Amino acid sequence: MDKRRIGIIGGGPAGLMAAEAAALAGARVVVFDAMPSVGRKLLMAGKSGLNITHAEQHEALLQRYGAARPRLQAALDAFDGNALRDWCTGLGIETFVGSSGRVFPVAMKASPLLRAWLVRLAGLGVEIRTRHRWTDLAGGEFVFDAPGGRVVERFDAAVLALGGASWPRLGSDGAWTAPLAAEGVAIVPFRPANCGFEVDWSPVFVERFAGEPVKAVTARSAAGTLPGEFVVSKWGVEGSLVYAHASALRDGLDSDGAAVLELDLTPGRSVERLARDLERQPAKASFSNRMRKGAGLDGVKLGLLRELDRNVAGLAPLHLAQRIKCLNLQLRRTRPMEEAISVAGGVIWGEVNDDFMLASLPGLFVAGEMLDWEAPTGGYLLTACFATGKVAGMAAARFAGAG
C-alpha cells in the first residue's frame, strides 16, 4: 500500500509522540536518532521518579509557560495533564498525584513506560533507526551520519524533535542549530534553565554542609516569594526551589552580572514574633543554643546564617530576627548548561505556524524543547514536549496527505 512517509528526527518524548500521532493518522513513520537507543533523557528523568505532569487546574498549568503560553496553549488544551495521564493508563502505566500536585508513574521510573510505548509504536509499524545523526538539509533531502556512512532520505513531511542542549551525553547536544541556521531559520541562543548557581562558599562551609538539603524555607527573587527546599552543593546551590527562581535569577545575571536570592529561614514566624522568641533566650547561652531554642535553627540552616553573615552572633534580637527572615544569598553565575535540567532558547516562534511548521521550509515541523520556551520543573517540561509532539505529528501527516 502506498502510504505517505514521514521522517521523525529525534526520538525523545516529543519525537516519539509525533511518531505515534503520525502513525495513527495513517502515515508510514521512520524515527531517526543519533544515539544507540531512543528516550535517554526520558529515562534519566525517570531516575528522580519521572514527574510526567502536574495535577493543578489547567489555567494554572498554562501560566507556567510564561511568555510562550499563547503559542503553546492550543497544544496544551488539546493534550493536557489529564489527557497525558489517560495516555499513560492506555500504555498500562498507572500514575498518582504526589502531595505537591506533581504526577508520577506508580513505578516512579520511566523504563516501563518507554518499553510499553516502543511496543505500541512497533505495533503501529513505526520503524526506529538509531545511530543516525542528522547533519544537513540539502535541497529538501535529509543527510544523516550512520554506521555505514552517509545516508540521504527524502520524506513527504518531517518533524524535528532534537531537544535542547542540556545533558548532551544523553543525545541532545544542540548541534542541530547549525543546519537549521544555514537554512535561514532564526534561533534564540540557548541559556540554562532549571539550573544550579555558583556561590563563593568558604571551604569550611563546603566541608560541613555540601549535599545537605535546606528544607521548609522561602526564597524571594523577581520571580516572587516561593516556599520549598534546595540543596547546598560544593559549588553553590541547586534543587527545586532554586530552579523555580532560575530564569529570573539568570536574567538578572545576564543584565548586570549580579543576582541575589533572599532566603527566609523561618517562614512560619513574623520578625516580631521571632525577635520576642530570641529575646527570651538566656544571654549566657551559646549562640547555637539560642538559635536552636529561640528560632528552631540548627545544622545547615544555622551554618548558612553564619556563612552569609559572619557577624550574626553579635546582633541584637530584632536585627538577628530580621537577618534570619531576609538572608541575602549572592549568586555568582549559573552552572554550565550541560548540567541544567532544561534550556531556554531555540527556534523562535516567528518561524513556525500554529502547527509548528517552519514557514520557510513547508513540510518540516519542529516540536519539544528545541522550540523557544521554558517552564519550571513540576512536570511542565514533559507535558509541553508531549503536547507539541502530538500536534506536529498530526499536522505532518495532514501535510503529507496521509490517511
Ligand X SMILES: Cc1cc2nc3c(=O)[nH]c(=O)nc-3n(C[C@H](O)[C@H](O)[C@H](O)COP(=O)(O)OP(=O)(O)OC[C@H]3O[C@@H](n4cnc5c(N)ncnc54)[C@H](O)[C@@H]3O)c2cc1C
Q: Which residues bind ligand X (CB under 6 A)?
A: 9-15, 32-35, 38, 40-42, 44-45, 48, 50-51, 133-134, 161-163, 166-167, 171-172, 175-176, 341-342, 368-369, 379, 381-382, 385
- Report how far apart the first and last C-alpha atoms of the chain are (Å, whole number): 11
Min dist. Cβ of residue 36 to ligand X (A)? 9
Min dist. Cβ of residue 153 to ligand X (A)? 12
- The closest of 220, 22, 38, 201 to 113, measured between CA atoms, is 38
Dig out the grid coordinates for 165 from the structure: 542542549
Question: How many angstroms separate the Cα of 333 from the Cα of each of 198, 203, 260, 265, 346?
Answer: 5, 18, 11, 23, 21
How far is it, in rounded angstroms, from Cα 384 to Cα 357? 16
* Cα 199-44-48 angle, rounded to 5 deg: 70
For the chain, the maximum distance between any two Cα atoms, rounded to a whole number of angstroms, is 89
Task: Determine the residue type at 194.
Answer: N
Nearer to ligand X, 209 or 356 (CB): 356
- SS3 of residue 343 by DSSP: strand
Give CA torsion, residues 84, 73, 26, 143, to 10 deg: -100
Min dist. Cβ of residue 367 to ligand X (A)? 7
Residue 220 CB partners (closer than 8 Å, separation 6+): 226, 261, 262, 264
Half-sphere exposure of 129 (CA within 13 A, CB side): 17
* β partners of residue 224: 221
Min dist. Cβ of residue 383 to ligand X (A)? 6
Min dist. Cβ of residue 54 to ligand X (A)? 9
Min dist. Cβ of residue 337 to ligand X (A)? 11
Nearer to ligand X, 27 or 128 (CB): 128
Nearer to ligand X, 114 or 329 (CB): 114
Nearer to ligand X, 116 or 308 (CB): 116
Residue position matching grid coordinates 523562535: 348
The answer to whether 356 touches 372, Cβ cutoff 8 Å, is: no
Nearer to ligand X, 34 or 214 (CB): 34
Secondary structure element (H or E) that encloses residue 384, with its range: helix 380-400
Min dist. Cβ of residue 375 to ligand X (A)? 8
Phi, psi (rounded to 5 degrees) for 182: -65, -25
Nearer to ligand X, 27 or 195 (CB): 195
Secondary structure element (H or E) that encloses residue 385, with its range: helix 380-400
Min dist. Cβ of residue 219 to ligand X (A)? 21
Nearer to ligand X, 11 or 294 (CB): 11
Nearer to ligand X, 168 or 363 (CB): 168
